[in-house]
Amino acid sequence: MAKADLYARLGVKREASPGAIRKAYLRLAKRLHPDVNRSPEAHDAFLAVNEAYEVLSNGLLRREYDERTSGRAPSWDDLPPIRGPVRVIRVSAPFVAPREPKAVRLRTTPDDRRRRQFEFAFTATTAGLSVLFLAGAFLLVALGGVLPGFVSFLMGLTLVLVLFHVIPLWRSR
């Protein structure tokens, strides 16, 4: 069977139900299977019947085959009705640019400004002193005084710990 109609291979009409197609396939497969029928034509016929059943048993492939062989263009009316729950996916258009965030100017009171200035001055002073103590510690150790260098290092380390751990908790209250 070279290029015969798939429905003709199975011996069913175009309007046949999936159950009728399956029944015809099983009938032909039992008769043409290579284990049952040893003739070389039976093997080729079995492969053709198997190919026809693979196409016609799948709803999408069957519809595509019918559209190609009927000679008319597919339309929206050919789609089967939707059964079961319908899931709607909302998609934004790809050409819509996201909105840019606008700069917002906060109105602050003079007390807030003074508090922020004080916090900045306190942080700058503490950071400067800790850097000064740490630099002094390295200088004293380099000149040979290990004990004064160690004490200066501990003072700088204490200021750094106060700056980064105690002050943020104190200011947040």
pLDDT, tens only, 35-68: 888 888 888 999 999 999 999 999 888 988 888 8
Report residue 155's pLDDT band, with 50, 70 and 90 as the boundaries. confident
- Residue 170 CB burial class (10 angstroms; 0-12, 13-18, ≥19): exposed
pLDDT at position 1, please? Answer: 44
May I ask the CATH class of domain 6-73?
mainly alpha
Residues 6+ apart with CB under 8 A from 66: 14
CA distance 114 to 83: 68
Kindly state the greatest CA–CA separation across the chain: 107
Q: For helices 110-143 and 146-161, what crossing angle results, to 10°?
A: 160
Alpha helices for 6-145 (secondary structure H): 6-10, 18-32, 40-57, 59-70, 110-143
Instruction: Kindly report the number of other CB atoms within 10 A of residue 67's CB atom.
Output: 14
Question: Residue 92 pLDDT more than 70?
Answer: no
Report residue 151's pLDDT band, with 50, 70 and 90 as the boundaries. confident
pTM of the model as a whole: 0.41
What does the domain layout of the chain look like in residue ranges? Answer: 6-73, 112-171
The DSSP symbol for 106 reads P
